[in-house]
């Protein structure tokens, strides 16, 4: 009897391994997935999660069905179990639009998380989204933003870039983003269980591309950071961008980590640098505005033109990180995206959303005619001035006069990182720049607190509210179509 027992007894290592459970560096979180246009019955969503090196059998059920689960290893090789990162991705397909679905994720038969989500709403239904950027670096203000985003009960999040600091690494997503935006409980100093309930759209930004090549131009350096470009491994965004993009995110470093990155990212790299999608009565075009992009490039402009002219949505929004028009001191000179404003105006873009400046800024509606585009073409330069003529709509006030003439540019980059330009708060005289002939295109600037944007819209009317870190409203404007 004693012999039989000893023959089946586990060694200490075996026993420890048998008890090992995965540590979730990212609990199951929703992503939009590759779908772009709205198609009832052909809607899809991605549920993804990440763990340390402890594997096992996962099952994801929804609507009486089992999802196919793909697993790829971001950090493997000789990494320890705790250092390894297993990325799991479940594609939920064949869904109806605007319908609520329940889902359950289990590991080795044990329930890990159950939740629900609502798929994208079709045309004709009211939608609400929140927008903010420059948000995740472990600060308590990050948590307030996550909490206020959750309290707004949005249909989805539209992040305006610099989602994690400093270098857009997978490890930074695990430390600063997932524990806050997918916390188990909601609280102003905790964060909120937001990511498990609504999809999170984002755009690539400067802190996603934090290495430098021999010319000191930004690139992803896999020698320095073997888990660089988490934007392409953690995020699953619409897959309708140009392939290849005219300006793919540059990569340098040893072959091994680059090959691992490409295996995990699949065709998301470099495609999801640019994409578009519809939600309700709105069309969103999301662009890479990093310094390696030349926005005067014809191929890029052709793709943008085809995208904006190909939608029948009532509202057209463009999202890119580096604000073409902002009055702050930190990034004022990074004006290269001004080159695209005439194209946006031609195709009826209503609002543009940005981050980069860690403040809130809303412009009056205006039209812009560039007079010299040579600065926009200086790829790699941090200062790319684009002078031009402003035609500002001063009648629009967002209360009694609500139909704008021109585009309204909203910089919502006060999502958590340290704030800029405290002295500019409520001081319109400080918002004027000589280089713009002191054009008074800016209407509202809030620099003394963190905040996020909440947008409600239907086909005829849109209301923008800016909510500060304590939940108070610091700006409100209504825009109408007819
Ligand atoms: Fe930035």
115 and 138 share a domain? no
Phi, psi of 325, deg, nearest 5: -125, 105
329 CA distance to ligand 1 centroid (A)? 13
| C-alpha to C-alpha distances, 296 to 118, 290, 323, 379, nearest whole angstrom | 38, 13, 16, 11
pLDDT in tens, 185-224: 999 999 999 999 999 999 999 999 999 999 888 999 999 9
Domain endpoint, select from 72, 96, 119: 119
Tell me: the pLDDT tens digits for 103-118? Answer: 999 999 999 999 999 9
DSSP 412: E
- How far apart are the CA of 161 and the centre of ligand 1, in A? 7
How many angstroms does the Cα of residue 18 sit away from the middle of ligand 1? Answer: 45
The verdict on residue 279 lying in a domain is yes
If you measure from the C-alpha of residue 331 to the centroid of ligand 1, how many angstroms do you get, rounded to a whole number? 9
Q: How far is residue 70's CA from residue 413's CA, in Å, rounded to a whole number?
A: 34
Q: Are 261 and 254 in contact (CB under 8 A)?
A: no
Distance from residue 354's CA to the centre of ligand 1 (Å): 9
In this predicted structure, what is the pLDDT of residue 17? 60
The domain that holds 100 is classified in CATH as 2.60.40.380
Using the mean position of ligand 1's atoms as its centre, give its distance from the Cα of residue 413 in Å.
8
The answer to the question of residue 2 being in a domain is no
Tell me, what CATH number does 400's domain have? 3.60.21.10
- Vertex 264 angle, CA 261 and 266, to 5°: 100
**How many domains does one find in the chain?**
2
Residues 262 and 278 in one domain: yes
85 and 110 housed in the same domain: yes
**pTM for this structure?**
0.95
Q: Which of 119, 148, 163 corresponds to the end of one domain?
A: 119
**Ligand 1 centroid distance, CA of 357 (Å):** 7
Distance CA 183, CA 203 (A): 22
Kindly state whether residues 109 and 249 are assigned to the same domain. no
CA of 134 to the centre of ligand 1 (A): 7
Same domain, 198 and 268: yes
Distance 358 CA to ligand 1 centre (A): 8
Of residues 320, 382, 379, the one with CA closest to residue 349? 320
List the alpha helices (DSSP H) in 56-161: 140-151
Taking the C-alpha atoms of residue 206 and residue 161, their distance in angstroms, rounded to an integer, is 8
CA of 407 to the centre of ligand 1 (A): 22
What is the residue range of 78's domain? 21-119
Q: Within its chain, how far is the Cα of 312 from the centroid?
A: 24
Structural domain includes residue 7? no
**pLDDT digits 0-9 by tens, 14-60:** 666 667 899 999 999 999 999 999 999 999 999 999 999 999 999 99
Distance of CA 121 to CAs 4, 96, 124, Å? Answer: 62, 9, 8
- Are 102 and 149 in a shared domain? no
- How big, in percent rounded to 5, are the helix, strand and coil portions of the chain? 20, 35, 45
Ligand 1 centroid – CA 46 distance (Å): 27
- Please say which residue of 87, 119, 151 terminates a domain: 119
């Amino acid at each position: 009897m004693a012999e039989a027992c000893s023959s089946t007894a586990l060694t200490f290592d075996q026993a420890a391994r048998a008890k090992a459970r995965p540590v979730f560096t990212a609990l199951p979180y929703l992503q939009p997935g590759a779908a772009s246009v709205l198609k009832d019955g052909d809607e899809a969503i991605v549920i993804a999660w990440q763990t340390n090196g402890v594997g096992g059998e996962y099952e994801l059920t929804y609507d009486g069905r089992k999802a196919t689960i793909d697993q790829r290893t971001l950090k493997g090789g000789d990494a320890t179990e705790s250092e390894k990162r297993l990325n799991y991705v479940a594609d939920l397909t064949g869904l109806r639009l605007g319908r609520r679905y329940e889902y359950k994720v289990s590991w080795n038969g044990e329930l890990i998380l159950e939740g629900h989500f609502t798929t994208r709403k079709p045309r004709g239904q009211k939608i609400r989204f929140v927008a903010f950027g420059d948000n995740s670096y472990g600060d308590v203000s990050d948590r307030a933003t996550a909490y206020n985003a959750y309290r707004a009960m949005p249909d989805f999040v539209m992040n305006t870039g610099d989602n994690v600091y400093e270098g857009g690494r997978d490890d930074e997503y695990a430390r600063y983003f997932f524990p806050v935006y997918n916390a188990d409980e909601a609280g102003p100093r905790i964060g909120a269980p937001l990511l498990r309930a609504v999809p999170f759209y984002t755009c690539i930004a400067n802190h996603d591309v934090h290495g430098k090549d021999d010319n000191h131009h930004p690139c992803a350096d896999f020698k320095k950071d073997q888990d660089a470009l988490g934007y392409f491994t953690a995020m699953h965004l619409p897959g309708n961008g140009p392939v290849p993009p005219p300006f793919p995110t540059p990569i340098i470093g040893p072959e091994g980590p680059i090959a691992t990155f490409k295996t995990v990212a699949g065709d998301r790299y470099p495609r999801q640098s640019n994409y578009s999608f519809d939600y309700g009565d709105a069309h969103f075009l999301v662009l890479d505005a990093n310094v390696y992009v030349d926005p005067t490039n014809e191929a890029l402009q052709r793709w943008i033109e085809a995208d904006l002219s190909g939608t029948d949505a009532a509202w057209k929004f463009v999202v890119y990180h580096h604000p073409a028009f902002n009055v702050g001191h930190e990034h004022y000179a990074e004006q290269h995206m001004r080159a695209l404003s005439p194209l946006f105006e031609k195709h009826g873009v209503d609002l543009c959303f940005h981050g980069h400046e860690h403040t809130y800024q809303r412009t009056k509606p205006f039209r812009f005619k560039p007079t010299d585009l040579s600065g926009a073409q200086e790829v790699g330069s941090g200062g790319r001035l684009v002078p031009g003529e402003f035609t500002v709509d001063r009648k629009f006030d967002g209360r009694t006069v609500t139909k704008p003439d021109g585009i309204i540019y909203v910089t919502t980059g006060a999502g958590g990182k340290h704030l800029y330009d405290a002295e500019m708060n409520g001081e319109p005289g400080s918002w004027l720049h000589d280089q713009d002939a002191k054009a008074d295109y800016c209407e509202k600037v809030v620099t003394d607190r963190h905040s996020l944007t909440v947008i409600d819209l239907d086909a005829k009317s849109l209301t923008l509210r800016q909510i500060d870190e304590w939940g108070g409203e610091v700006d409100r404007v209504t825009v109408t179509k007819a």
